[in-house]
């Protein structure tokens, strides 16, 4: 990856490591500039990198553009074979459908803490504000369809309806 990305999670199957390059950027130099450490790059197209588990270098990773796919955590991933015998990678992950809305509201999320000292308790309460994220589910990457099409970043993507 040529730019920093908040790569918070990845998935590993029997054949591949799957890395997500999302629109959320992590930029330590922004702290010096008085800006946020973490920000959203709305111009960036999210990508999924598929790296063979026994690759010998970074040149073995294959990138697939997946517009609108911004995840923090993976649920599961596995290898499949399609009807023609081609390799397909399945990744199950919650997708943040409105990345801008999520990021604007992340500063408003607060928790509650309570400390006990003998017979008395100090309780500090703060509001907990957060809308539930709308998510979608399964993404399938057709590894064989992209063979010889490195410039096109072709992939087959199938998503479950919003949950």
- Report yes or no on 81 lying in a domain: yes
Which residues contribute to the annotated binding site for Fe cation? 8, 73
Which residues contribute to the annotated binding site? 8, 73
pLDDT computed for residue 91 by the predictor:
79
Question: Positive or negative, the Cα torsion across 76, 92, 135, 27?
Answer: positive
pLDDT computed for residue 111 by the predictor:
45
- Average pLDDT by stretches of 10, the chain with 163 residues: 71 90 81 79 86 90 86 83 82 68 52 48 42 48 58 48 43
pLDDT computed for residue 124 by the predictor:
43
Domain count, the chain: 1
- Report yes or no on 129 lying in a domain: yes
- Report yes or no on 2 lying in a domain: no
pLDDT computed for residue 162 by the predictor:
45
Q: Are 41 and 25 in contact (CB under 8 A)?
A: yes
- Report yes or no on 159 lying in a domain: no
- Report yes or no on 156 lying in a domain: no
- Report yes or no on 73 lying in a domain: yes
Residue 95's domain spans which residues? 10-146
Tell me the three state secondary structure of residue 149: coil
pLDDT computed for residue 103 by the predictor:
57
- Report yes or no on 153 lying in a domain: no
pLDDT computed for residue 109 by the predictor:
43
- Report yes or no on 161 lying in a domain: no
pLDDT computed for residue 52 by the predictor:
92
Q: Distance between CA 96 and CA 85 in Å, rounded?
A: 32
Q: Return the ∠ at Cα 77 (arms to 85 and 40), rounded to 5°.
A: 120
């Amino acid at each position: 990856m040529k730019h920093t990305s908040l790569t918070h999670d990845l998935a590993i199957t029997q054949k591949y490591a799957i890395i997500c390059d999302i629109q959320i950027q992590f930029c330590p130099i922004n702290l010096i500039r008085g800006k946020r450490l973490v920000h959203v790059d709305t111009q960036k197209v999210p990508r999924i990198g598929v790296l063979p588990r026994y690759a010998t270098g970074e040149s073995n990773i294959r990138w697939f553009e997946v517009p609108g796919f911004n995840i923090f955590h993976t649920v599961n991933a596995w290898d499949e074979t399609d009807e023609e015998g081609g390799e397909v990678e399945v990744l199950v992950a919650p997708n943040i459908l409105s990345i801008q809305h999520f990021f604007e509201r992340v500063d408003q999320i607060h928790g509650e803490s309570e400390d006990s000292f003998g017979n008395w308790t100090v309780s500090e309460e703060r509001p907990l504000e957060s809308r539930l994220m709308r998510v979608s589910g399964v993404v399938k990457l057709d590894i064989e369809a992209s063979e010889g099409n490195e410039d096109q970043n072709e992939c087959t993507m199938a998503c479950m309806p919003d949950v």
